[in-house]
Amino acid sequence: MAKIATAARNPAHAGKNVGGEGVALKVLEPASRMSLRARPDTIAALSKALGVTLPQKPKSSAAKAGRTALWLGPDEWLVIDEAGGDPVADCAGVKGLHSAVDVSHRNVAIAVTGPNAAATISSGCPQDLSLAAFPVGAASRTILGKVEIVVLRTGEDTFRVECWRSFSDYVWGFLSEAARDAG
Amino acid sequence: MLLIRCPYCEEERPELEFRNAGEAHIARPTDIASISDEDFEKFFFIRSNKKGLVFERWRHVHGCARFFNAVRDSVSDKFLLTYKAGEPKPDVSTLTAEGGPAAWANRPPDQLNEKPKSKRSTKGEA
Ligand SMILES: [Zn+2]
């Protein structure tokens, strides 16, 4: 009798969290992610297909119904869907030239929350994360220590840090140390 | 830390996000197979390597990932101007160094993306 084998996906660092003085770290649930490249003439059609207006202002993001589009460059966006949708499938019907690549499992997301959240990230990120320079909704690709990350400010005291899966050990360790220092 | 203005991100960003990508405004020969070895050597290997104002390509590799061009003083390390790739080479005579490199750091956020008001107003400030 053949046995039925089922494979379960175990996300990197699933369920980990660190609570410090004034800052908490939590590995977020897996999400659908898409790396999107497009020229200006396709932006409107892609926005319509995705149900979220692709931001065209540097360091900004737009969110609607569990889906967030982060401006990474003049023709590049990271689209994160936490509502179980499939952004790549949604773009499939768009005629204009574009590149939509599913990178869902490439990234690990860490929520950094609390009054010391900005200080925690700033321990390894050279960008100005003050509210004046990096307001709620601001998003940017940047660095943390020696690796590249994408930072999204989801609230005054909450950030979403996205890093590549193979860097997630380093990022988690870095942020955990920083959270202890920031407290 | 040096702050470099990215013309695509439209603001000054920390130097750690950038990579130098060599001399700018080097035209690739239109028919590279027909040029002499000497001309190829000049195009491929020989760079001006000037002391003073240099035109360079830079890449905002850990930001918007775009290549752009910059005018930099190779003595003071100061960036005089950055501009988008494909834009014409700026006239050097219209560029003047404004303050020292240290004057660009330690500014409050609301002043970070301001251009210095007069040519020498930021000198000595650090
Ligand atoms: Zn940039």
Ordered by where they begin, the domains of chain A are 20-29+106-180 (3.30.1360.120), 32-102 (3.30.70.1520)
Choice among B73-77, B81-85, B96-100 with the minimum mean pLDDT: B96-100
**Cβ–Cβ gap B16/A126 under 8 Å:** yes
Q: How does residue B117 score in pLDDT terms, banded at 50, 70 and 90? A: low
Chain A and chain B share a number of CB contacts under 8 A equal to 46
**Cβ–Cβ gap B62/A143 under 8 Å:** yes
Q: Is B19 in contact with B63 (CB distance < 8 Å)? A: no
B9 touching A (Cβ < 8 Å): yes
CA neighbor of A104 nearest in space, from A29, A179, A17, A8: A29
Chain A CA closest to residue B62: A142
| Cα angle: B26, vertex B31, B37; to 5 degrees | 75
Interval between CA B90 and ligand 1 midpoint (Å): 20
Q: Of all residues in chain A, what percent carry a pLDDT higher than 90? A: 86
Taking residues A5-12, report their average pLDDT.
Answer: 77
Per-residue model confidence (pLDDT) at position B114: 58
Q: How does residue A12 score in pLDDT terms, banded at 50, 70 and 90? A: confident
* A19, pLDDT greater than 80: no
**Higher confidence at residue B116 or residue A53?**
A53
Probe site for chain A from B5, B6, B17, B106 (most A CB atoms < 10 A): B17
Probe site for chain B from A121, A127, A128 (most B CB atoms < 10 A): A128
Q: How far is B96 from chain A (nearest CA, A)?
A: 27
Q: Is A91 in contact with A140 (CB distance < 8 Å)? A: no
Per-residue model confidence (pLDDT) at position A180: 87
Q: How does residue B96 score in pLDDT terms, banded at 50, 70 and 90? A: low
* B72, pLDDT greater than 60: yes
Q: What is the pTM of this model?
A: 0.84
Q: How far is B98 from chain A (nearest CA, A)?
A: 23
Per-residue model confidence (pLDDT) at position B109: 61
ipTM of the complex: 0.88
Q: Is A108 in contact with A114 (CB distance < 8 Å)? A: no
How far apart (Å, rounded) are the C-alpha atoms in residues A178 and A124?
8
* A20, pLDDT greater than 90: no
Q: How far is A4 from chain B (nearest CA, A)?
A: 45
* B110, pLDDT greater than 70: no
Q: How does residue A18 score in pLDDT terms, banded at 50, 70 and 90? A: confident
Per-residue model confidence (pLDDT) at position B102: 47
Q: Is A183 in contact with A22 (CB distance < 8 Å)? A: yes
- pLDDT tens-digit series, residues A34-67: 999 999 999 999 999 999 999 999 999 999 999 9
Per-residue model confidence (pLDDT) at position A45: 98
How far apart (Å, rounded) are the C-alpha atoms in residues B54 and A181?
42
* B14, pLDDT greater than 90: yes
Q: Is A66 in contact with A85 (CB distance < 8 Å)? A: yes
Q: Is A59 in contact with A51 (CB distance < 8 Å)? A: no
- pLDDT tens-digit series, residues B18-41: 999 999 999 889 999 999 999 999
Ordered domains of chain B (ranges, CATH): 3-28+35-101 (3.30.2270.10)
- Side-chain half-sphere CA neighbours of A69 within 13 A: 26
A101 touching B (Cβ < 8 Å): no
- Measured in whole angstroms, how far is the alpha carbon of residue B97 from the centre of its chain? 13
B107 touching A (Cβ < 8 Å): no
H or E element in which residue A26 lies = strand A24-27
Mean pLDDT of chain A: 94
Measured between alpha carbons, how far is residue B93 from residues B53, B90, B96 in Å?
A: 11, 9, 8
